Amino acid sequence: MIPFVAVVSLRGRQSRTLRIWVPLILLWLLLVPLAVLLSPLIFVFCLACRVSPFRAFSVGWQILWALHDTHLEVDHPSAGISICVF
């Protein structure tokens, strides 16, 4: 499943937590037209690097698909950050 939302939690020394909900679905919607516009350039770049553009697209899509359920958390008494991708 493509990740729809990312939740970024930031905590400062005062133990105040700022939670930001990032609607990734909107980001994807914005990036799709850009990706379509840039696709000829990406295609040429892949060929110049001797990489199959179709394979590159496939792997990129798989990475995007697999980002779902990723969780990263770093906690320190002075600050902390947590990123959850849903």
Footprint of another protein (CB under 8 A): 49-52, 55-56, 58-59, 62-63, 65-78
Residue 19 vs 69, nearer CB to another protein: 69
Residue 19 vs 68, nearer CB to another protein: 68
Q: How far is the CB of 41 from another protein (least distance, A)?
A: 17
Residue 33 vs 49, nearer CB to another protein: 49
CA–CA–CA angle 64, 25, 41 (5° rounding)? 55
Nearest to 82 by CA among 19, 1, 15: 19
Q: How far is the CB of 71 from another protein (least distance, A)?
A: 4
Q: Are 61 and 2 in contact (CB under 8 A)?
A: no
Nearest to 1 by CA among 66, 85, 72: 66
